[in-house]
Amino acid sequence: MNKIKMFLHIGLLLAGCCANAHGQVIDNYVSDDQRLQVDSQDAQKAALRQGLSDVLLRQLGMKELLSNPHLVDALDHPDSYVIDFKVDRAVQSGEEGLFTLHINFDQNALNQLYKEASLVPWSRNRSSVLMWLAQEQQGQRQLVANSPLAVAMQAQAQKRGIPLFRPLMDLQDELGLSVGDAWGFFAEPIQKASSRYGAQAVLTGRVYQEQGKWTSQWQLLDRDRQMLFKSQQDSLDAIAADIVDQLAVYFAKQDKLSALQGAGAYFLSVSGIRSLDDWQALQKDLQQLSSIVSFQLDAMQGNEVRVRVISSGTIRQLQDELSQNNSLRAQAGSDEQTLNFNWQGAESP
């Protein structure tokens, strides 16, 4: 009987991974669960507000959008967007909170809110993401699938509406991907080992302790795009929250890019990029520009990178915004398709 249960469990895991080859429609797009310590009117009102905040963040992807005045007003009146809710008084052992509030929100009302706020929600159909995690402890590196960080990453991804899955780490995985290849972010063996799962994107992370803090770097392979993320925090839970937030922003922007009509595609050539830190600092600066919807590395030669940029405005508007950044200095040779800049170094905080 134990062997039968084990094989059934493995089969269900494989089915869960491989069923996501064409993306996944998330099931908590318009609903949310909130824990209640006491079942009172005040507690329910606070839970409805938090539930609406969670759903708005899940549908929009970016935290800064919650500061939109229309959304701020909506959060002050969460009951206007609720279809129904119920309190589950069944206490489950080991769970925090005495009650659970199950909330269903009105998608039509939310769509009207987005229209008034001039916001476009992130599609309910999300890219599936397979996550490989390499962790260093006491000088030893190993691939892990059930570590506290891996579990926390999946929980945070569920909360933000990202279908993130962990590998089985069975014999096929152990033979297919070495910890060295994962740690080094070598794309070819990572993609080859990931092919059995059929995920649309592959996230690989390496994590270790440095000067009392948890330090991590991450690579996302998303079709023909390669993105790098990093986070250093006091706890693994904080790393999970930070990295999943960065992933949500990335995927929400990619979704917006697909839906955007009339966007301009340009090239940005930046010289003076001499290290990975320079490239990551440039990425951070580009992510903060309001006119840039999306960007990806097109080419790299010597100390120069060429970035393909999708802008919501004209190339002149993009040039003006880039010129306001003290880390970049305009160079000669720009034309109607390509802007030339030199990297001056990251701005001081």
Running along the chain, 349 residues long, what does each successive block of 10 average in pLDDT?
Answer: 39 39 78 89 94 97 95 97 89 65 92 85 89 95 96 98 97 97 98 97 97 96 94 98 97 77 78 92 84 84 92 78 87 90 75
Last residue of a domain, one of 76, 95, 117: 117
Of 257, 292, 312, which closes a domain? 257
Q: What is the pLDDT of residue 136?
A: 97
**145 plus 248 within the same structural domain:** yes
Residue 234 domain-assigned (yes or no) = yes
Residue-wise DSSP of 225-239: EEEEEEEEESSHHHH
**Is the residue at 192 inside a domain?**
yes
Q: Which amino acid does the sequence have at 267?
A: F
The predicted pLDDT at position 19 comes to: 37
Structural domain count of the chain: 3
Residues 186 and 204: their CA atoms lie apart, in Å, by: 10
Residue-range definition of the domain harbouring residue 295: 264-343
Q: 251 and 127 in contact (C-beta within 8 Å)?
A: yes
Domain boundary among 257, 280, 295: 257
Tell me what pLDDT residue 94 has. 54
pLDDT of 292? 80
- Tens of pLDDT, residue by residue over 68-85, are 999 999 999 999 999 999
The whole-angstrom separation of Cα 342 and Cα 164 is 37
Q: Which helix (H) or strand (E) is 150 found in, with range? A: helix 148-160
- CB neighbours (10 Å) of residue 289? 16
The reply to whether 200 falls in a domain is yes
